[in-house]
Amino acid sequence: MTNAKAGLQTTTNILALAQSMRKKLNLPSSGQSPFVIRLAGSKEELVAALGLLHDVYVSESYMEPTQSRLRISAYNALPSTSTAIALHEGKVIGTVSIIQDSPLGLPIDKVIPVNHLRASGHRLAEISGLAVHPDFRGFHGEVLYRLVKFIITYCQRFHGDDILVISVNPKHGSLYRDILLFDPINDVPVEYEFVKGAPALGKYLRLERFDERLLQTYGATPSPENLREYLRAADRSILFPQRETFRAFDTLLSPENLAHLLGFFRTDGILGAAESAVLRSWFTLPGYRNLFPGESSPVDPSAKPFRPRASQRFPFRSAATLFEPRSGQTIALRVDDIGTDGIGGWMAPAAEASTYKAVVPVSSTRAVSLDIEPVYTTQSGKTGFRVTQAKGDWEKMNRILTDILTNGIEQAVGSAAPKDKKAS
């Protein structure tokens, strides 16, 4: 058999396997469910989720037991990381986290290159720590698929992510390739130290094209085999945050809660100098400074562009408009983070003027006017601006975000995350 014929046969086999997998789908009903899916709403729920992940990973030989009995890393201490949980009768029986790109990079960066996906200012986020308690892995995938539904919708509506990446064991590869329609990053498995050397494949999903691909793949497929229909259907068991601003973080990391979490880091001895430096740069508000004593340690500049921050920055997703006063040119800016003294984001063409006037929407009904000047541009094309003058609700907006960060999103079990305070 020629190489061309062999390749064609392989492709045919893969397509046949994919069709067979999709025909076996028995997606859960969006009706009444004994489960609740939402963001972790307290430090106790977050610790329970990390404990469940630890136990599942130990049972799968992905890690050795830790003294804390938690699966925890520096990414869990970033305000840009969100953890969702599945609850059954008040008990955490499933979890998944979404990690936004940051100066720490993403976990996948350690073994599988993804910088090409960051090109042109694409926002990356990594799906991580997906686990379901062994007693709840049946139910036609009711817990698993509800967690998947939550995380994809959450990333589209609340994170403003462009591309999701994930590292998966090859034995789970068909789920992501044939059912969830992820594309491959690498074809040959690599040893992933983060999961005790287990083989890993990198996958990615372009969210802007996802619905189109779902339509092409599932089309008029009847329920319960139609993933597109399932993802689009309302589901009262899945609770999303309610927001009146364009913030892109849901954090439990008040100073008290972060101190509690850092205690587990010290127990397991897992926080290195580089990670400490990044966390120090993220948490610049007074209530956090005593949590990271000492001077900032240098970070390897080849790993990820790193700039210590003078003031607190908050993940934020907004479509701003820049005006260049001398030429009258109008430029779009995709805002990625904001703070009292600066904003960061992607613009095209790249910044050439020394000053700009900016109109930045902060909610669906409000915008603020800023005078800004470019300070730096990263390798991925993100530009950081210094705010030289602010009008409107800029300081009030930052006070609201500060309040959300320092107080966390503590909430009652079974309720949706609370609304942001109005910037009025």
Say if CB 320 and CB 333 are below 8 A apart: yes
Say if CB 351 and CB 375 are below 8 A apart: no
What is the reported pLDDT for 19?
A: 66
Return the CATH number of the domain spanning residue range 24-232. 3.40.630.30
What is the reported pLDDT for 295?
A: 47
Return the CATH number of the domain spanning residue range 255-407. 2.40.10.220
| Fold match between domain 24-232 and domain 255-407 | no
- CA 422 to chain CA centroid, nearest Å: 25
* CB-count burial class (<10 Å; 0-12, 13-18, 19+) for 267: middle
What is the reported pLDDT for 273?
A: 80
First-to-last C-alpha distance (Å) of the chain: 71
Say if CB 375 and CB 360 are below 8 A apart: no
Strands 314-323 and 330-339, bridge-based pairing: antiparallel
Residue 291 has a CB neighbour count (10 Å cut-off) of: 16
pLDDT digits (tens, 9 = 90+) for 64-96: 999 999 999 999 999 899 999 999 999 999 999
Alpha helices, H only, 300-361: none
| Domain residue extents for the chain | 24-232, 255-407
Reading the chain (424 residues) residue by residue, the pLDDT tens digits are 555 444 444 444 445 556 667 777 888 887 788 999 999 999 999 999 999 999 999 999 999 999 999 999 999 999 899 999 999 999 999 999 999 998 889 999 999 999 999 887 789 999 999 999 999 987 668 899 999 999 999 999 988 899 999 999 999 999 999 999 999 999 999 999 889 999 999 999 999 999 999 999 998 888 889 999 999 999 999 999 888 789 999 888 999 999 999 999 999 988 888 788 888 888 889 889 888 865 444 444 334 444 556 678 999 999 999 999 888 889 999 999 999 999 999 987 777 788 999 999 999 899 999 999 999 888 778 899 999 999 878 999 999 999 989 986 543 333 333 344 333 3
Helix axes 43-59, 255-268, angle to 10 degrees: 30
CA of 233: how far to CAs of 146, 255, 354, in Å? 11, 38, 48
pLDDT digits (tens, 9 = 90+) for 123-178: 999 999 999 999 998 766 889 999 999 999 999 998 889 999 999 999 999 999 99
The two tokens of residue 340 are 């009292």
Ramachandran quadrant class, 126 (left: phi over 0; alpha: psi -120 to 50; beta: rest)? beta
Say if CB 9 and CB 1 are below 8 A apart: yes
What is the reported pLDDT for 1?
A: 52
CA of 215: how far to CAs of 211, 228, 231, 234, in Å? 6, 7, 12, 18
Q: What are phi and psi of 202, to 5 degrees?
A: -90, 135
Residue 233 has a CB neighbour count (10 Å cut-off) of: 14
The dihedral over CA atoms of 400, 159, 273, 70, expressed in degrees to the nearest 10, equals 100
pTM, whole model, 2 decimals? 0.88
Contacts of 387 (CB under 8 A, 6+ apart): 340, 341, 342, 343, 370, 371, 372, 394
What is the reported pLDDT for 416?
A: 39
